[in-house]
């Protein structure tokens, strides 16, 4: 009898296996802690004095979570050492703590166990467990090459087009390239990219890097393989591409039309310059965080449109935040199927399983709840109105980094709230989705069905 109750050896060995969501949370938390410690050093500031703990914690969290919200100006407050630390935190957060850990394991041992593959799959959204090592390698190479190309393009423009000395131009190019590709939104300029609002080169290069990083690595790889055959695209790629183009177009149209006569934003610009600035603003709401216009001077309707775009975010498995366009698109198809009275949800020639639909609903509803709760708390803690509090909450949770200018004046308790919100927004949808997927199990019985009134 004792032999029959004894568990197999593989079960005994895996008793200590942690859920990927736990490991990812611990990884990001560790990175935030390490970044906070380094930014608290006197050498990290230009004044040579230790930064207040709340500023170091806020900046480290914002960098690791690739958000871009700041309580102090990045270029003037932090020293070169501090800016390098911020850049490394952005890179680590963009690639993903588990991706970096997996790459380290591959380089050191040339082997990748099942546990490491499983953890890397949760971070990289690889759909093939056997190919995680290859996926991680391609992610790192693709990211570094993309950042290098963007850095060269920006450095050349800063030096040749704006008269910056060679070395500062290179430094600014590298910093903005890494920040843009990882959708971080950190800038060494006090006014972000406001000074380049009429420069197509800078605007389009930064916007291109933001879109490329925000599409998601699986989508980019799939497009590279079969971009000429849309019929072969997966549901995720189809939703991501279609909704990205749609939201960028709608966002550009809405923001350009609502701000075209605003003397504090688009008013003084010419027609083509208005369109360029509107497109850039629409792209940055996809969780990038750069701004070429004064966000605080925007009209209420523009801020509301930006709230919606920020909350939706970018593609899954990319550097963007928000609930993701795949979640939004899936819920849209669920609604469309329900309105048509269909029993199944179909996207193209594929049927979406009910488990995916429930996961999308759970992610969206919990995200809405988090934003509402945080907005309420910000209104209570500060003297800012609902409009600006909502914008700040959505920007933090969606890891965007845009602000109406109130971040630096918030009380410490509000800063801590935004820290929690940024952290939850970065790992929350990811860990929740993986947790729901792994908890799925088949019930051995069914309860009697009873319909209730809806609406």
| pLDDT at 378 exceeding the cut of 70 | yes
Mean pLDDT of the region 157-184: 94
Query: Number of helices and strands (H, E) in the chain?
Result: 19, 2
- Residue whose token pair is 């497009």: 223
Q: Tell me the CA distances in angstroms from 72 to 58, 62, 267, 381, 405, one per residue in order.
A: 10, 12, 29, 20, 11
Q: What is the pLDDT of residues 401-449, one digit of tens each?
A: 999 999 989 999 999 999 999 998 888 765 655 555 555 566 677 778 7
What ranges do the domains of the chain cover? 19-436
Q: What is the pLDDT of residues 24-69, one digit of tens each?
A: 778 888 999 999 999 999 999 999 999 999 999 999 999 999 999 9
Span of 82-86, 232-236, 417-421 with lowest mean pLDDT: 232-236
Q: Which residues of 43-69 are buried (b: 16+ CB within 10 A; e: fewer)?
A: ebbeeeeebeebbbbbbbbbbbbbbbb
Please tell me the predicted confidence (pLDDT) of residue 5.
46
Please tell me the predicted confidence (pLDDT) of residue 74.
94
What the block records as the tokens of 379 is 């209104």
Please tell me the predicted confidence (pLDDT) of residue 315.
84
Task: Give the Cβ contact number of residue 118 at 10 Å.
Answer: 18
Roughly how many angstroms between the first and final C-alpha of the chain, as a whole number? 56
Helix, strand or coil for residue 78? Answer: strand
């Amino acid at each position: 009898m004792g032999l029959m109750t004894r568990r197999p050896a593989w079960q005994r060995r895996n008793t200590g296996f942690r859920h990927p969501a736990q490991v990812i949370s611990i990884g990001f938390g560790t990175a935030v802690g390490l970044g906070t410690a380094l930014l608290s050093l006197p050498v990290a500031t230009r004044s040579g004095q230790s930064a207040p703990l709340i500023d170091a914690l806020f900046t480290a969290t914002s960098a690791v979570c690739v958000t871009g919200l700041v309580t102090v100006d990045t270029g003037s407050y932090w020293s070169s050492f501090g800016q390098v630390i911020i850049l490394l935190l952005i890179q680590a957060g963009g690639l993903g703590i588990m991706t970096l850990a997996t790459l380290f394991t591959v380089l050191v041992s040339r082997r990748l166990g099942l546990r490491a593959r499983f953890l890397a799959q949760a971070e990289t959204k690889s759909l093939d467990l056997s190919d995680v090592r290859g996926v991680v390698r391609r992610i790192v190479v693709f990211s570094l090459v993309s950042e290098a190309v963007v850095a060269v393009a920006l450095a050349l423009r800063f030096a040749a087009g704006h008269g910056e000395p060679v070395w500062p131009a290179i430094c600014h190019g590298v910093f903005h390239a890494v920040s843009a590709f990882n959708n971080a939104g950190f800038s060494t300029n006090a006014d972000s990219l406001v000074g380049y609002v009429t420069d197509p080169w800078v605007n389009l290069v930064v916007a291109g890097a933001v879109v490329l990083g925000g599409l998601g690595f699986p989508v980019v790889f799939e497009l590279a393989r079969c971009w000429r055959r849309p019929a072969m695209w997966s549901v995720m790629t189809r939703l991501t591409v279609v909704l990205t183009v749609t939201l960028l177009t709608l966002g550009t149209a809405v923001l350009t039309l609502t701000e075209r006569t605003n003397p504090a934003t688009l008013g003084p610009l010419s027609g083509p310059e208005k369109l360029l600035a509107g497109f850039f603003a629409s792209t940055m709401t996809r969780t990038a965080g750069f701004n070429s216009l004064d966000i605080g001077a925007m009209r209420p309707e523009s801020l509301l449109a930006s709230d919606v775009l920020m909350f939706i975010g970018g593609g899954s498995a990319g550097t963007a935040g928000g609930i993701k366009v795949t979640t939004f698109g899936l819920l849209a198809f669920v609604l469309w199927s329900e309105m048509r009275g269909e029993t199944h949800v179909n996207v193209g020639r594929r049927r979406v399983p009910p488990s995916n639909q429930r996961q999308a609903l759970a992610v969206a509803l919990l995200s809405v709840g988090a934003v509402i709760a945080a907005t309420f708390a910000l209104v209570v803690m500060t003297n800012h109105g609902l409009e600006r509090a909502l914008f700040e909450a959505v920007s933090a949770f969606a890891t965007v980094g845009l602000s109406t200018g109130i971040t630096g004046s918030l009380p410490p308790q509000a800063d801590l709230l935004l820290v929690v919100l940024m952290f939850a927004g970065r790992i929350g949808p990811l860990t929740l989705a993986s947790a729901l997927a792994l908890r799925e199990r088949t019930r051995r019985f069914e309860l009697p069905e009873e319909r209730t009134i809806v609406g």
